[in-house]
Structure 1
Amino acid sequence: MDMQLIKPLLPIIFFSSLFLSLASAQPHPIAGYAYYENGSPAANAIVNVTNLDTGDKITNIIVGQNGYYEFDVGSPGVGWSDGDRINILISGTGEYEGWKGTAVITLNLTAPYQIVPDIYLSYEGVKIRITKPSKGSQISGKTFVIGEVEGEAIIDKVEIKIDEGEWITVQGTKNWSYLLDTKYLDEGNHIIYARAIIKEENTSVVADVTSVQIIVKSTESKDTPSFEAIYLTLILLILTSTKKLRL
């Protein structure tokens, strides 16, 4: 065919091909949430996405304050293939630096999008536990909160807090304890949090966090007379004694 006849048609062929390409382009968003082991969202975490079959990586990743992240592997985009294995590595920031969590999913381009199961971050090699009281225990008066920390890392300190209170440093590290006085707590459900702190390059890092729910019961017995009852009884006794003396 004469090229002179084809040249005028090239722009039409190009834009027709471009239109068909754009029309057939399908984004494929992948999204999920990341949390620390204590349930708090991994806000502004660092997300790395790697195709385990090709070695390619994605850098255009949306990360939110609530632990949400999102990226697109559709076309136009990285153009990965259906069935590729995708590794998602999430790293904590700030006081949670050193915490990591990962998930591997299989790319399914036949679906409009994919949701990654929740990823929970932890500090490698360190695990803190509350051994006493156990979940749902009813406690009253003074009671010891006892726990342990597993792992080879050197623990700088262990801290606990009740509900949304201040963090308090406890006695011990690998094996630790704290004497809790429930008279400062309202009756009902409360949560005890415990966290292990390590030192990395003169920086304090939270290595692990755990929690347990307890129920605080009043130490007052229902059979014990109240102050008002005792006061009224004394008044009656005094009045009775005074009346007898007058007689």
Structure 2
Amino acid sequence: MIDCHVHVFDPDRFPYAADTWYRPAGGETGTAAQLGHVLDAHGVHHALLVGPNSGYGLDNRCLLDALARGMGRYKGVAVVRNDASRAELQDLQAAGVVGVAMNVALLGVDFYRDTEPLLQRLRELGLWAQVQVQADDLVALKPMLQDSGVKLLFDHCGRPTPQAGRGQAGFAALLSLADTGRACVKLSSLVKCSALPYPYPDAWPYVQALLQAYTPQALVWASDWPFLRAPARIDYGPLLALFAQLVPSGADRQAIGDDTPQRLFGFGA
């Protein structure tokens, strides 16, 4: 099993940026050591560590430290400036980073309108553009992302609006990108596309639509540990149980939970 979206927060060793927009504290924090214990307890062998905008912003030191300490257990997604150079990206890649995060849901569409040169560098290096959108954000960005030729990794089922249905423009745009053959979606954080408590039944139709459009060969599973700003308590075990309920086929779970992320992100290579 591979968890394709977790964060590491270690403010004692890596203090937060002074201008951070949010400071995770208490149960929202999770060090690399604590993450390892959680993964071990649930039989999860690898994880994709995502650099958070909260706490660290453009500071990737905590992420890179966790990658180094993991000794191959982890891959990373870094947060970089929109004008990050090829050399900066290559240095991150050498440290185990496989992609760059674009948090459109937080920073807005306009913040990323100038990223065509960055996307080109990512494409040339074989790095992923990990994109977190919500509602209809993707409609405006789709032409640039599609024309870039870069590999696309979408967070949290595309974060559709719960009540708007599968026909909403942003989710329809996400489904259409499956045809590119270079897009992948994380089945993760259903709480972000649900108006109901666990097991988030109003989000299930979006998962089924993604299963049909992308197939298990372009889908991965993730927990979003340590559940930053969760509206109610979330635990790792119930999320794994929900994955089994949503994907009843053992072969499909094997693909989404292990085979596909190994192939896409190079775990174990």
Larger Rg: 1
- By relative contact order (CA 8 Å, sep 6+), the higher-ranking structure is 2
TM-score, with structure 2 as normaliser: 0.23
Structure 1 length-normalised TM: 0.24
Question: Between Structure 1 and Structure 2, which shows a larger proportion of helix residues?
Answer: 2
